[in-house]
Amino acid sequence: MTVDKNQKFWNRIADRYAARPIKDTAAYEALLADAASRLQPGDKVLEIGCGTGGTAIHLAPAVASFTATDFSAEMIRIAQAKPAPDNLRFVVRNAEHAFDGGPFDAILALNVLHLVNDLPGILAGIHANLRPGGLLISKTWCFADMGLKLRLLFRVLRTFGMFPAANSLRIPQLQQAIDDAGFEVVDQRCFGAHRQNPYIVARKPAPATA
């Protein structure tokens, strides 16, 4: 597999990322609780951009099967070294090719949609690989809604290879992209202090019955 500069960035920082403590434990635990409440014991779940696997390890025991993917081989290496339930597997796969084994009952995309090259294409792929009534559970950084000083700082850090390539989204743009992909938003909120990092749950509508 060809490794692009974005993969190289995440491979390079994987060990530091894994060692970094969660900044807002209460917000993270609230997110996990909400996500878990939306999953059923028989569900087949996919996570795109799983990082070092913490979310997948927490949520997998509540469902039938859980596939967690990330395009960083180093992130997956760290995830695979952790104790995990038998129904969870970690796979090196980029977002565009994450859907093997579908359709799924739920697809998680937590802090990853702002990092993909083709947001409409990824959302279309998620929609196509969900069962009718299936859920997209997402959390996305909308950097364009941040203050000017932060945006300039991120730009400087990116120049020096200290911050990843990311889309400069606004929340309305993200909402529109999810709508355009054919989803119905069923919940939107923020966990923690950053309103620019919305948690959005959206459903693939079931076909209308006669």
Mean pLDDT computed over every residue of the chain: 91
Q: Region 74-79: what's the mean pLDDT? A: 98
Residue 56 sits in a domain whose CATH number is: 3.40.50.150
Report DSSP state, residue 119: H
Alpha-carbon gap, residue 94 to 72, rounded angstroms: 8
Strands 65-70 and 44-48: parallel
**Cβ proximity of 110 and 138 under 8 Å:** yes
In DSSP notation, 98-114 reads --TT--EEEEEEES-GG
**Cβ proximity of 141 and 114 under 8 Å:** yes
In a domain, 209, yes or no: no
- The pTM for the full model equals 0.91
Model confidence at 1: pLDDT above 50? no
Model confidence at 200: pLDDT above 70? yes
Model confidence at 2: pLDDT above 50? no
Q: Region 157-184: what's the mean pLDDT? A: 83
Least confident range of 34-38, 147-151, 171-175: 147-151
Model confidence at 30: pLDDT above 60? yes
Alpha-carbon gap, residue 204 to 127, rounded angstroms: 6
In a domain, 56, yes or no: yes
In a domain, 47, yes or no: yes
Model confidence at 136: pLDDT above 50? yes
Backbone φ and ψ of 116, nearest 5°: -80, 150
- pLDDT class for 168, splitting at 50, 70, 90? confident
Q: H helices within 65-170, ranges in order? A: 73-80, 119-128, 148-159
Number of other CB atoms surrounding residue 1 within 10 Å: 10
State the total domains in the chain. Answer: 1
Q: What is the pLDDT of residue 90?
A: 98
In a domain, 208, yes or no: no
In a domain, 76, yes or no: yes
Model confidence at 208: pLDDT above 90? no
Alpha-carbon gap, residue 171 to 178, rounded angstroms: 11
Domain holding 152, by residue range, is 5-203
Q: What is the pLDDT of residue 146?
A: 72
**Cβ proximity of 129 and 106 under 8 Å:** no
Q: What is the pLDDT of residue 33?
A: 98
